[in-house]
Amino acid sequence: MNRKKARALMHGKAKGLNINDPRQAQQMLENLPIATLVAGINNSLDILQKRGIPISDWDQKKRELYRLKVFGGKVYFLAAELDRPCQEGQ
């Protein structure tokens, strides 16, 4: 980064992407390739799974979302049916 860009950044006059701005962050995400978006969702799924937070199928509570995959430009979800008792109220 040159001095001009550094000064502009310090004074809030820098041009370019500011991911702290929700509108700009949304615009950046909308322009990402599908495979990149799916990879981001899979990373979030991994974090939730490590925290012990399952993402269950709305209609079939025993099915848990495992991963998203891209095949031939289409996005598919992989779910596993778990052998655990369903909790009431979920």
- pLDDT given at position 38: 96
Ordered per-residue pLDDT tens for the chain, 90 residues: 677 767 776 776 656 677 788 888 888 889 999 999 999 999 999 999 999 998 998 998 899 999 999 999 899 999 998 776 655 555
Q: What angle do CA 68, 52, 84 make, to 5 degrees?
A: 85
pLDDT for the residue numbered 20: 84
Give the model's pLDDT for residue 14: 57
- For the question of whether the overall pTM of this predicted structure is more than 0.85, the answer is no
How many C-beta neighbours within 10 Å does residue 66 have?
Answer: 16
pLDDT at 48: 95
Residue recorded with tokens 């909790």:
87
Q: How many angstroms separate the Cα of 13 from the Cα of each of 20, 50, 58, 64?
A: 15, 41, 47, 47
